[in-house]
Each structure stands twice: as structure tokens, then as C-alpha cells.
Structure 1
């Protein structure tokens, strides 16, 4: 019976993926039809050319995305730059950006050891880095999550409990993207009509190395994990 359920779930997942692909194709062909009619009846060729360029924006993220491309991290990029001898430069480089550090710690009451009741001490931080994009200002925000251990348990017990402070969850797990950076890229692309390659050039002029492939990956994942559920709920 379990195998039958598993087979049905797998089949259902396959049908759902196929449905999503068909919906994308229908939306694409509808847009092609709209632009075709516009070119046929438009009063000037400039409007048609503008609409044609706009059509290319729809699938730019899919074309530029590279799921095999690893997420850039400040630590990795720093190591690569210092060890490089005449090699090619990394596509994403955040090392020279101003950095803001946010530390999340436990209160005095929360530092009580669950094993022995003793007071726990700070033994380190778990850190993640996000690119925070604010119009005319870009910085790196370091989220430092306090990690606590108990000295008494370290001395007397074989089991040493660990506590961590609460920290806001990342917008995209394992990514340097923040809500503000994704919102900025989406706004520039879909509302202002600025394709990713032009955004990449714009960032380069500001001394920021953020590749179009990374931005495309962020857009696709944010759409899948945040916007699609919201869209489906609104339709429902």
C-alpha cells in the first residue's frame, strides 16, 4: 500500500511540474500574440521595437540563470582574491563593500543551562552574509548568531548542551540575497524595464561585482519560494 501511495505522489508531482511548464508556455504565447497584434496595428515602428525588447525581459532570468553556479560568499571571495596570481577575476566580489554587523544574543534569563542549570557563556557565532541594496547605497550585512555553551558541563559532564540566539531566517537559504536586494533587482527589471545585463553594468560602475547569473538565480528562487505561493493563494 505504501508503494502505491509513493507511486501516486511521484506521479502527481510529475503532473504538477508539467502543468507549471504548460502555464508558462501559454503565458509566453499569449504575450507573443499580443505583441504580434500590436506590431500589426501600431502607429509607429518604435512602439513595436520597444514591445519586442520588453518581451525579451520575460525569459531573461531563465536564460541567464545557472543553477550550478555556487552562491558567492565574502569569505570565499577574500580567499580567492588573495591566492590568485594572474588568474581570472571572480564574477561576484563583495569584499570592498562597507559591512554592518548585527549580533543576536540570548538574554540573561535564556542563558541558563538546560543540563545543569548553570550559566552558559558565549562560545562563538554562526554567521551568514547578505547583500543589502538600498537605492544609492549598497552594503554587506553580517548576521552573527550567538552560540552559547556551559563551562560547568564542559568540565564535569560528557554531554555539553549548546544554545543559539534567535536570528531572522534568510530570504533564500544558503544565499547572500536579502529582501531589499531582490526587491531592487525585481523593480529595476520588471517595473523599470532594465535587463539584468544592464543592472550588472550599473553595479560595476559603482564598484560592485554582482553577476547577472547570480541575479537571475535569485529572481527564479524568490519567485518560486515567495511569489508563486502568494499568487496561487490570491487566485484561490
Structure 2
């Protein structure tokens, strides 16, 4: 009695062999892909976190156009002298802010606090201090102008050697000398780190 292998014809054996070779090639390609995925995962998990040059990138000797196009040794390229002037623009900050809506917040002393600590007389408004910062209410941008009153005593101005000056309390800026407000810093940090936007 003939076995199954003996009963197959030569043509059938060749077809079976071709199928097995194709299956072997597919399995080899899959294995290679999985090995590469595993290597990448291991490198991502355990590799160096700094942005160093990968060793494979150093072997780029195929791209040597710069050496080919370089000027022959001993021959200096023509140099061109470039000069420029920088002009300082006064009032640029005010010009930039002039297009925005202005919201003024005024800080005053309560009536009970407008009393001279020296003589007990009433204080009058002497001058103001103003600082501007950019506030943001998404998606609305406006200038918040902080104005605080500075008080002095008329009685002490006329009769005393010293005149006490009292300034109304005002919140400190987030970053002195800048236009940054807490709202705009929070907005920028949210856009950059939460929404992953390039700002």
C-alpha cells in the first residue's frame, strides 16, 4: 500500500514546496517586524533620555556634497560686509497696547483709613501710581490698568516738618516690569503644557 507522500505527483510536491517557502518568508518578515518593535520598546523604556546622536546616524558618508562643492584649498571665498542699524522706538509698548480694550482697577483707602497718623487730620489725594499688564479672558484680551491712590495730609503739609504719605494697597505683579498677569500666565501654561500647542 502506497503512503500519502508517494501518491503525490511531482507537480503537487512543487506547489506544496512553493507554499511552504512563501509561508516561511512571511513568518520571517513578521518575526523581523516583532523583533524591531521589541527593540524600539526596550530602547524607549530603558534607553538614555538625553538627546544624543544615535550611532547609526554617524555613518552618513554617502552625503558628502559639502566636501565635493567646497572651494579648493588655499582659495578664499569672497567675503561680503553687512552692516545694519537698530533704531530704538520710543512708546512701542503704548502703541501696542492702544488697540486693546482697557479695564481700569482703582485702589483707594477706605474713608476710615484716610486719617493722618501724625496729627489725626484727613488725608487728601496727592497723586497716583499706575502700572499696566495684559489680562486674558479666553478668547478675549484686554489691558488691566491698576491705579492706586497716594494720599498726603494738607495740615501736615502746611504746619509740620514732615508730611506722611500713604499709598493704597495693591496686589503685587506676577513678574515686575512685565505686562504678564496671572490670567495670561495661566492661559499660556495651559496652552503649552495641557493642550500641547507651540506658543
Into which bin does the TM-score normalised by the smaller protein fall?
0.5 to 0.7
**Structure 1 runs of 4+ with >6 Å offset:** none
Count of residues in correspondence between the two structures? 116
Q: Which runs of 5+ in 1 are unaligned?
A: 1-28, 37-74, 82-92, 197-236
Tell me how far apart the structure 1 counterparts of residues 115 and 92 of structure 2 sit (CA, whole Å): 36
Q: Which residue does 2:167 correspond to in 1? A: 164
Cα RMSD between the aligned structures?
2.2
The aligned counterpart of 2:140 is: 137
Counterpart of 2:142 in 1: which secondary structure?
strand
Alignment of 1:1-236 (within 5 A): 30=49, 32=51, 77-78=93-94, 93-196=96-199
Cα distance in 2 for partners of 1:143, 1:99 equals 10
Shift of 1:32: 4.1
Query: Residues of 2 paired with 1:144 and 1:175: CA distance?
Result: 16
- Shift of residue 118, structure 1, vs aligned partner: 0.3
Q: Which has the higher contact order (CA 8 A, sep 6+)?
A: 1
Higher helix share: 1
Give me the whole-angstrom Cα distance separating, in 2, the residues matched to 1:195 and 1:140: 24
Q: Compared with structure 1, are the counterparts of its residues 154 and 114 closer, same or farther at alpha carbon in structure 2 (3 Å cutoff)?
A: same
Alignment TM-score, normalising by the size of structure 2: 0.53
CA distance in 1, matches of 2:123, 2:92: 32
- Equivalent position SS for 2:97: coil
5+ long unaligned stretches in structure 2 = 1-47, 55-90
